[in-house]
Every structure is written in C-alpha cells, then in structure tokens.
Structure 1
C-alpha cells in the first residue's frame, strides 16, 4: 500500500476548514469574485487543468463532476490534459486560457512567457483577463491547501 493510499484510508492530515473557518470563508469569497464574467465551462477547464498539474485528487474529483453537471462532454474532459494535441476540440479562447493556466501554475519552470500572455490577451479583454488570472490563482491556492492536508476526494469518503 502506498503512502497516499494509507492517508486516504485514514483520512486527511488536517480538516483545515474546521480548524480555520475564516480562511475557508475568505477563500470562498475569493473564488466567487474570480467567477464573475467568465463562462462556466472555461472556468471548469482551467480548474481541471491546474488541478491535474498540481496532482490534486480532491479538486479533480470535484471539478470533473461540476463540469459534467454543467454539460461538458466526456471527450473534452478526457482530453483536457492533452489539449494541445486535441486539434480543434478546444476553441482558440479555451486554448489560450489553458496555456496561461499551465504557465501560471508551473512558475517554477520559469516566468509566464510574453507569447502566452499575448495569446490570452488576444482572446480576453482586460477585465476578463484579470478574472481569468484570478481563477487560475485561486484554484492553485485551493489545490495547495487540499494537497498539503491530503484532503480525501468526496467520491472516496466513507
């Protein structure tokens, strides 16, 4: 049995939202503020891609379910991790958002390249670009909380 399986079987390290309810309230407000002006399907794709990169099982479980409820196709969900190879399955706008998501999420691999930023700016006005950046930052924050505390995906809770 792997360490991750042991932790999942025994529960999370910390039930952070019970320990710090004001933190949860602040994160929820931040999440709500970032959702303004972006189409839900795009926001879910961003959350899924960042969560894949951050290996956050809790958030992947949640956002795949949310995306399905919002009408996202299973094919697109299956291929979001390989969006660059998926042809025109994802719109240019979605591809620009996913490229920016990857660059912001993987900051340890370098800065956000100008070409990635300019690609996003070509598909999003300034207000939308600010919201998109907020959406990327907030999902990365959620991912870090959930991965660090080894939160158990809701589908696996008993």
Structure 2
C-alpha cells in the first residue's frame, strides 16, 4: 500500500536519444545555437524556471547542477520559484525581464503580452532577444520530450 509520504517512480518509457538519434542530434545542435551570445547564468535561470513550470524533474535537476557548477548561489536557486517576490538585489532587472518572458512562453495559452515583451526588449538588443526566445522554446521542447518519455532525474 502506498502512503501519502511515499514517492513512487514511474518507469521510463523509451530512450529518446537511442530511438531517434537524428532528431536528438538536431535538438543538441539547436540547444547549442540558441545559447550563443546569451549569458550562461541567465540561460540556466531561464531553463530552471521553465522546467519548474513544466514539471520536468530531469531538466530541473540537470540545470540546477549546471548552475551550481557555474557559480550560481543557493539563494538565487532557492528563490527562483518566487523570483517576483524576491528582494530587489537578488535578481537584476534584466534577469527579471527574461524570467517574465520565459514564463509567458512556457504558459503559451494566452501568448506573450505586449508589456512583458516590451520589458524584455528594453533590456536586450534585438539579436540577443531572439537568442533568449530561442533558449525559451528549446527548453520547452526538452521539457516535453523528457516528461513524455519519463526521463529520470540524476541520469545525466
């Protein structure tokens, strides 16, 4: 019998990289291209926040570890789910604009509002904004692949 405190792990469904290697290689290349010219710390924040919203434990685990290796602080990682309520000095205005954009892209149902887009455009040059949007749609794609295939955290 399962109690409310027990965690049951659902079995993985398929090995995506092995099953569709050509698609997987293209995704790796897309991910690398999307990151070009974007601050690596910002990329990790956006990827962690998007993975939180999409319920992708695999990506959240991986990008949290990557962020720590890159020097990200525990405070910023812990406060990421509530970044809007975090004290002013925790995230820069630029990071907050990127996180707001990432959230609206992840929750695409209502589209990206003019206010959020304008806020991001005020902090990023056009080419960098396009790269940031690319990071957002790429992590959303990874989240969907890993949730659909039940990729298990910690298997990087």
Q: Normalising by the residue count of structure 2, what TM-score does the alignment of the two structures yield?
A: 0.93
Query: Is 1:5 aligned to residue 35 of structure 2?
Result: no
Aligned partner of residue 27 in structure 1, secondary structure: helix
Alignment of 1:6-155 (within 5 A): 6-7=9-10, 11-88=11-88, 89-108=90-109, 110-154=110-154
1:111 to partner: Cα distance = 1.4
Structure 2 unaligned blocks of 5 or more = none
**Aligned residues: CA RMSD:** 1.4
Give the whole-Å Cα distance in 2 for the aligned partners of 1:6 and 1:90: 34
Q: Normalising by the residue count of structure 1, what TM-score does the alignment of the two structures yield?
A: 0.92
1:154 to partner: Cα distance = 1.7
Aligned partner of residue 154 in structure 1, secondary structure: coil
- Render the CA deviation track for 1:75-120: whole Å, top value 9, x for unaligned: 0000011000002210000000000000000012x11100000000
Give the whole-Å Cα distance in 1 for the aligned partners of 2:14 and 2:154: 15
1:6 to partner: Cα distance = 3.6
Moved over 6 A (4+): none
Give the whole-Å Cα distance in 1 for the aligned partners of 2:129 and 2:121: 7
Give the whole-Å Cα distance in 1 for the aligned partners of 2:64 and 2:111: 28
Give the whole-Å Cα distance in 1 for the aligned partners of 2:131 and 2:80: 21
Give the whole-Å Cα distance in 2 for the aligned partners of 1:36 and 1:17: 23
